[in-house]
Structure 1
Amino acid sequence: MKTQISRKLRMPLSVIIALCLHTSVIFAISFSFTPTNPKLPPALDVIIVQSKQSDEKIKDADYLANTSHEGGGEFDTNKRKKSLFQSFEDTKMNGIAQIQSQQQIKQQQQKKTKLITAQQADKKIQSSDKPEQNKSLNNSQQITQPELTIARLTAEINKDIQDYSKRPRKQFVHARTKNTPAAAYMHNWIKRVEFMGNKHYPTEIRKKNLKGSLILVVAIKSDGKVLEVRIKKKSGINLLDQAARNIVYQSSPFAAFTGELKKNSDILYITRTWQFTSNTFR
C-alpha cells in the first residue's frame, strides 16, 4: 500500500522540484544593455524677462519666464536666448541652458533697468516736445503756405508786368511801308540824310570814283537821337560802308517823335538802301 502511494506522488514531486530549480535559475541570471548613444532628458528653458509687457495669458509658450512676454527679435524661428558668459561645457551639453547665479542675474537686471529708465525718460522728454513743435509747425505751415504762394505768384506777375512795361515799343519801317506816321517820319528823315550826305560827301570817295550800294538799318529813339546803326548788307567796299555810318551820325539828331508816332513807339527802325555814285549820294 505504501509502495503504491509513493509511486503516485513521485511524478508530481518531480515536476514541482523541476519548476523550482528552473525558476531559481531564471531569477538568478540578469541581463543589462548599455545603449551606445544615451539620450539626455529634454532641456528646460528658463528666461529672465526684465520688464512685464503683456498681461494676457499666452496659450502656446515657447519658454518659461518670470512673466508673460510676447516674442520679438530678428529671427524667423524660435531661438534660445544665449548667455553672455557661455562656457565650454554648455556647448558640449547639446543645448542644455546654463544656469546663472542669482548675483549675476541681479546685476544684469539692475543695469538693464537703469538703461531702460534712462531711455524712457529721454523718450518722454522728446515726445512731450515734439507735439508742441509739430503743432506750431503745422499751424505756421497752414497759415503761411497759401500766403507765401500767393505772394510769390503776385511778385512774379508784377515783375512780368514791370519788365513788359519797361520794354521799349519798337516799330519797323522801310520803303514799302504804307502811309502811316512812321512812314511820314521816314520820308522826312531820308531828305535830311541825303542833304547832309551830299553836303559832306567824302573827298576820298570822289577822288577814287568809288561806286556801290548797301542796306543800312538805323534805330532812332523818340527824342531823335541815334540808338544803333547796323549794316544789313555790305557794299563790298569798306570805305563806302564806313562813309554811310558817318553820314548818319553827322545828320543826327533827327526830329523828335510827335503825335501818334510818339504815343505808339519808343524806337523806330528805318531800313534803307544807300547808293553811292561818282559824285552823289542817295
Structure 2
Amino acid sequence: MTASNTFLNRATNTSENDALLITLFIAALLHIGVILGINFSMPKQEETHRAIEITLATTPAQKAPKQASFLAQENQIGAGKQKTKPEPPKQKLPSRGTLPNKQPQSKPVQRQTAAPKKIISTIRPAETKAPPAPAKVPAEPQSKPVPKITAAALQQQIAQLGTEVRQQQLSADISKIKHVNAVSTHKYVASQYEMDWKKKVEATGNLNYPEVARKKNFFGTLTMEVGINPDGTIYNIRIKRPSGNAALDEAAKRIVRLSAPFPPLPQELLKELDVLVITRVWKFSDESGMSAR
C-alpha cells in the first residue's frame, strides 16, 4: 500500500511539472507573437523650414567691432539700436475644444511636399575705385633776365614806333585816296570835275608859259599826278614820268600851283574818298604852247 501511494505521488508530481512547462511554453509563444506583431517605429517629426539669417556686407568697416555677433567675410558694424534679437512672431494654435471648420472641397488636392530650396547668397566685395591721378602742375616758366635798356636802344625803339605809326596813318590815308578811274559810284561826277580842272590848268599854263622855252625852241612831254583835297587845295604833286629836263618839270609844277585853289570836291565824291588824284600827260611845244591830255 505504501509503495502504491509513493508511485501515485510521483505520477502526480510529474503531471504537474509537465502542465507547468506546457503553460510556460504557450505563454512564451504568445509573448513572442505579440512582440513580433507590434511595430517599434519611432514617430516622425514634422519637417520644419529653418530660417536662414543672411548678413550682406556692403562696405567693410575700417575698425573691427569689439564683440562680433555673426560671421561675415568682412568687418561690419551694425546700424541697429536693439541689443536683443527680436523673436519671430508666434503662431496661434487652435484649442482642443474648438476645431476649425473644414470647408468642403470640390476635388481632393494632392499635397506635394516641396523639397526645401537651397539659398545661395554670393556677397560681392565692394569695388574699390582707384584714386584719381593727381593733375599735372604746369612747370613755371623760367623768368628770363630782363635786358638793360640803354639810351641808344630807347631812342631806336621810339624811332621804330614812330615809323610804324606813320605807316599806319599812311595806309589809312591811302584807303581814302582814289584816282579818277578808281571812282565807282560817282564816276560821272569825278570825270566832270577832272574836265573842269584840266581847262583851268591849261589856261593858266598858256598865260605863264616860260619865255626861255619859247626862245630856245624848248619842248617836251611829262606825266604828273596832282592830289586835290576836299576844299580844293593841293594835297601833293608828283612827277610820275619826267620829261628829261628838270627845268621843264619844275615849270609844270609851278603852273599847277598858280592854278590853285581849285573848286571844292562835290559832296557825292566825299562819300567815297578824301583825296581825288588827277593824272595827266603834259606836253610843252614852242608852237602850240602847253596842253594836258
So what's the TM-score if we normalise by structure 2? 0.38
Instruction: Pick the structure with more helix per residue.
Output: 1
So what's the TM-score if we normalise by structure 1? 0.39
